[in-house]
């Protein structure tokens, strides 16, 4: 993973390698500007005296996780044919985990408490019909996905000389997914035909055979209820099966094929009827994100999910949200994708609610009125060096404060409790996100564990 570089006026320069950043720090030419993602600031360089290349931020929006990639572009022109070839060099891979489900649950809980309170006050007028939503309004859980994605695009623009943006405009047609026969035409035309439905089935069924749980093997699309017995081509009637299972099942109904395995039969019947909640979330937010990206006044490129998967298959790149982002758009070659990935989890900046309630809505505990104690806030990254006692040692991680001064620190190896604040040193202020640097894919692990959580 590349190291982000700023000049002495905090203007972005081209990222550098970890080795070069280490040499710059050792020679006193740079200072540490930020720990995660690691950023240095040069003390003897200005952006006016530097050569910048074309850097692009690519995004693969998702319902639960959005993949981001910071890439450098190289375009070469064939002297004979004049054909332009586009090569992507991956500088940084990131995955942003949203917390839309937590926002939704909090709003549902708050609404239930509000209805209970107002149900005891019948003299209050109804308020459900005196509010109008502005054009383009999104539910808070959906707006959160757009806001957090744009927040990290803005951060990467502040730390790197970004000149272009790319995004995937997913086109999940839920009507055609449920009933392809409604249109009378093929779902996808041309060279990428069928990639959208296949990718949806891979995500829905966990990329393994529904009948034997076989993984890392070629999978085929199978009709749960065969067409010869009245089954349809709806996505709810499609599943994934390895070739041997598909041959054994043949044109038998699933109830007959799995008569001796009722648990698996019940699980498949439940899973095939799963709602298209994630597809609906992506459909609702894709144009809002597109408009926000265009508002940056940078060149924005749009690509389909089918082309992204096609690129991954051509270059033998494993499936990952961040690699989907790196393979977005027209790509003729990709280099440097075998690197670590920064996993970013949206945690929020605390809660305005200072009272904990029971399931019946009665108070059961009160939080402190101040969110800070002894100069620290919950979520800050700290380093604690304990010199005496049973917990002597050095700890690095996120802190959870107490007004008593006895803190908890979440490290890569687990939770360390009751660390006094006088042993703690601030490393980086909490910004509403948790960070975890991991290796990208199990195939690239080579026996090395996770690099650690901050």
Q: Distance between the two ends of the chain, CA-based, in angstroms? A: 16
Please give the CATH number for the structural domain made up of 54-117+137-172+280-349. Answer: 3.30.420.10
Residue range(s) occupied by CATH 1.10.30 in the chain: 182-275
Query: What does DSSP say about strands 65-77 and 84-97: parallel, antiparallel, or unpaired?
Result: antiparallel
Q: Alpha carbon of 97 to those of 60, 65, 284, 429: distances in Å?
A: 12, 4, 18, 20
Class (C level, CATH) for 182-275: mainly alpha
CA-wise closest residue to 209 among 277, 257, 161 = 257
Dihedral-angle region of residue 336 (phi above 0 means left; psi in -120 to 50 means alpha; beta otherwise) = left
Residue range(s) occupied by CATH 2.30.30 in the chain: 370-429
DSSP letter for each residue of 194-247: THHHHHHHHHHTTTS-TTT---SS-EEEEESS-GGGT----GGGEEEEEHHHHH
Class (C level, CATH) for 370-429: mainly beta
Contacts of 243 (CB under 8 A, 6+ apart): 217, 218, 220
pLDDT of residue 151: 96
DSSP letter for each residue of 293-309: HHTTTSEEEEE-HHHHH
pLDDT of residue 66: 94
* Per-residue pLDDT of the chain in tens (454 residues, 90 and over written 9): 899 999 999 999 999 999 999 999 999 999 999 999 999 999 999 988 888 998 999 999 988 999 999 999 988 887 788 788 889 999 999 999 999 989 998 888 888 877 777 776 666 666 666 677 888 899 999 999 999 999 999 999 999 999 999 998 866 544 445 445 544 444 444 444 555 677 778 878 888 999 998 888 889 999 998 888 888 888 888 899 999 999 999 888 888 899 888 899 988 888 887 666 777 788 888 889 999 999 999 999 998 888 888 899 999 998 889 999 999 988 999 999 999 999 999 998 887 777 888 877 788 888 888 889 999 999 999 999 999 889 999 999 999 999 999 999 998 889 999 999 999 999 999 999 989 888 765 545 544 444 444 4
pLDDT of residue 446: 43
pLDDT of residue 124: 63
Whether the pTM exceeds 0.85: the reply is: no
């Amino acid at each position: 993973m590349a190291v982000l570089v700023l000049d002495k006026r905090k203007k972005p320069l081209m990222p550098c390698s970890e080795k070069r950043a280490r040499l710059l720090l050792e020679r006193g030419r740079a200072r540490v500007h930020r720990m995660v993602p690691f950023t240095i600031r040069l003390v003897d360089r200005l952006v006016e005296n530097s050569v910048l290349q074309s850097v692009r931020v690519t995004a693969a929006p998702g319902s639960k996780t959005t993949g981001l990639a910071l890439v450098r572009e190289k375009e070469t022109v064939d002297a004979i044919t004049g054909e332009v070839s586009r090569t992507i060099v991956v500088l940084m891979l990131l995955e942003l985990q949203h917390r839309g489900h937590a926002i939704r649950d909090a709003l549902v809980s708050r609404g239930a408490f509000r209805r209970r309170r107002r149900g005891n006050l019948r003299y209050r007028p109804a308020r459900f019909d005196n509010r109008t939503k502005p054009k383009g309004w999104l539910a808070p859980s959906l707006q959160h996905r757009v806001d957090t994605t744009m927040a990290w695009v803005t951060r990467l623009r502040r730390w790197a000389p970004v000149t272009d943006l790319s995004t995937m405009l997913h086109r999940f047609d839920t009507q055609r997914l449920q009933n392809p026969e409604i249109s009378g035409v093929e779902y996808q035309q041309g060279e990428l035909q069928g990639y959208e439905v296949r990718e949806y089935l891979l995500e829905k069924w966990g990329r393994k055979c529904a009948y034997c749980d076989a993984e890392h093997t070629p999978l085929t699309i199978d009709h749960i209820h065969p067409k010869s017995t009245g089954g349809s081509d709806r996505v709810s009637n499609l599943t994934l099966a390895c070739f041997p299972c598909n041959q054994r099942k043949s044109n038998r109904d699933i109830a007959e094929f799995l008569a001796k395995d009722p648990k698996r039969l019940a699980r498949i019947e439940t899973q095939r009827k799963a709602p298209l909640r994630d597809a609906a979330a992506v459909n609702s937010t894709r144009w809002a994100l597109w408009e926000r990206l265009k508002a940056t006044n940078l060149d924005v490129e749009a690509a389909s999910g089918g082309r992204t998967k096609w690129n991954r298959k051509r270059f033998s790149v494993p499936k990952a949200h961040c690699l989907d982002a790196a393979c977005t758009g027209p790509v003729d070659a990709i280099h440097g994708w075998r690197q670590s990935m920064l996993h970013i989890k949206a945690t929020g900046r605390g809660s305005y609610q200072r009272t904990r309630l029971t399931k019946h809505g009665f108070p059961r505990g009160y939080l402190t009125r101040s969110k800070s104690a002894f100069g620290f806030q919950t979520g800050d990254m700290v380093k604690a060096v304990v010199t005496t006692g049973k917990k002597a040692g050095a700890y690095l991680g996120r802190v959870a404060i107490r007004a008593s001064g006895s803190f908890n620190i979440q490290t890569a190896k687990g939770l360390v409790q009751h660390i006094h604040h006088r042993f703690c040193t601030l490393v980086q202020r909490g910004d509403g996100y948790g960070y975890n640097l991991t290796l990208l894919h199990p195939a690239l692990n080579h026996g090395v564990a996770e690099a650690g959580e901050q």
